[in-house]
Amino acid sequence: MPVQSRRVFRLAFTMALALAWSYGSGMPLPFLAPMFVLILTAKPSAPMGAKGLLALILLVLLTLGIGLVLAPMLDQYRLSGLLLIAVGLYVSNHLSINLGKGAVGMLLTVGLTMIPAAGSFSTALALAVIQALVFGIAMAVISSWLVYPFFPEDPPSGPPPPAAPRPDVTVNRWISLRAALVVLPPFLLALTNPSMYMALIMKSVTLGQQASLVTARSAGRELLGSTFAAGCFAILLWVLLDLAPTLWFYAGWMLLFFIYFAAKLYTVFASRFPPSFWQNVITTMLILLGSAVEDSANGQDVYAAFAVRLGLFIAVTFYAWLAIAFLEYLRERRRRRVMPEGEFERC
């Protein structure tokens, strides 16, 4: 089997296995396990070892502990707590963009947003979210251990690829600030009702990561387009799931969808959109379906809750697009004022 096809099936089967395991074990927020598979194993390489998993869990507990400490500060010293979280969001995006620590940066962002928001509502909710994050990461890595032997990478051959050029620190600092400003307002909204807007926080975190990869010109098509596409795929899968609403059918349908998305992600199927577009489609669809399954289990109106949640996702995505465009406009305007006209044209 060609290596690209192996990567497609490896990612799809690992995500489906993690999804079936997390839902079958009854862990809170079970859709997080396949999301962590995408974050940790989408890069074509062998899975991390046991020492790496232990170190990652310790790092996650540290970052989540920081969020748990910030939760009471938001109640007693609201402004100071918000300023610390804003600085932390910038640092987490700096780790992702300037230092190439994408997984660490995203986990730190989750710890600085989901845990303080949940902790401001109740300590029990915050601990449940921490449990879901830690067990989700462990399930994702163990699932990759089980699937990787069937679809391994080719052994390395030839000289290693040349090192990537060092990024422009000034530009990447601006992008880090822009991504932090995309996440912060949805987080402030979630503080009003964390139990209702927990899914919105996860969506804003993925938007912040995606905002660091897009330009102002392509932001509207990529951010809004991927959100609309995720909503359509989620509706289609929910209709198919009505044929037999069981865990095995749910995991089987998701496996087929994951194969299609992974083929787009690894360019086995031609696509006009970059891999970041399809990553956002996968994560948004998982959040929408995971919340719908929870609504169904709690006896709520699934379709009304789905419509409200999708509307919120579209609204926060529209805000991210406008924020990126407005911030880029201010940046270009400042450059025009500071730089001479001829030098600006050369840049």
Domain residues of the chain, as ranges?
3-152+171-346
- The chain-wide mean pLDDT, for the chain, equals 82
pLDDT at position 212, please?
Answer: 60
Kindly report, residue by residue over 237-266, the tens digit of the pLDDT: 999 988 888 899 999 999 999 999 999 999
CB of 176 closer than 8 Å to CB of 90: yes
* pLDDT confidence bin for 68, thresholds 50/70/90: confident
Phi then psi for 168, rounded to 5 degrees?
-70, 110
**Cα–Cα separations (whole angstroms), residue 263 to 4, 147, 275:** 8, 17, 10
* pLDDT confidence bin for 325, thresholds 50/70/90: confident
Across 205-222, average pLDDT: 67
List b or e across 191-212, with b for residues whose CB sees 16 or more CB atoms inside 10 angstroms: beebeebbbbbbbbbbbbbbbb
pLDDT at position 258, please?
Answer: 94
* pLDDT confidence bin for 309, thresholds 50/70/90: confident
Kindly report, residue by residue over 127-161, the tens digit of the pLDDT: 888 888 899 999 999 999 999 999 998 876 656 65
pLDDT at position 163, please?
Answer: 55
pLDDT at position 159, please?
Answer: 62
- Of 95-104, 171-180, 249-258, which has the strongest mean pLDDT? 249-258
CB of 278 closer than 8 Å to CB of 271: yes
pLDDT at position 344, please?
Answer: 46
Sequence-separated (6 or more) residues with CB below 8 Å from residue 78:
none
Strand, helix or coil for residue 154: coil
* pLDDT confidence bin for 93, thresholds 50/70/90: confident
Specify the higher pLDDT residue, 340 or 292: 292
Kindly report, residue by residue over 266-277, the tens digit of the pLDDT: 988 888 888 888
Across 321-338, average pLDDT: 76
